Amino acid sequence: MTDLKICRVCLETNVRMYQILGSEVQDVYEKLTNKKINEERSAHHACYMCFRQLQKCRQLVTKAQRAEELLRQLSTNSTNVSNTKPTPR
């Protein structure tokens, strides 16, 4: 099947397109749609606006994951500090 130049997100056709398959935003797209992009399907593109939004979404996911990890570490460290009793003198 021929490779259609259609945005998988908004279905736009007459704008600059970027390849989703194999890009840094493929995982974000697949998580958002709960669909895997495979090579047999014809549309592997996102228009420049949707591709940028997928990039921003990926940045947000990364930011949230980092914050979650830091909060977990702080919680663990806080628990460790609050569970230690001062030694009597």
- Mark the binding-site residues for Zn(2+), compressed into ranges: 7, 10, 47, 50
* Whole-angstrom distance, CA of residue 51 vs CA of residue 8: 10
Q: Which residues are annotated as a binding site?
A: 7, 10, 47, 50
Q: How many residues would you count in the chain?
A: 89
Closest CA to 22 of 36, 3, 5: 36
Find residue 19's DSSP bridge partners.
Answer: 45
**Could you tell me which residues are beta bridge partners of residue 47?**
17
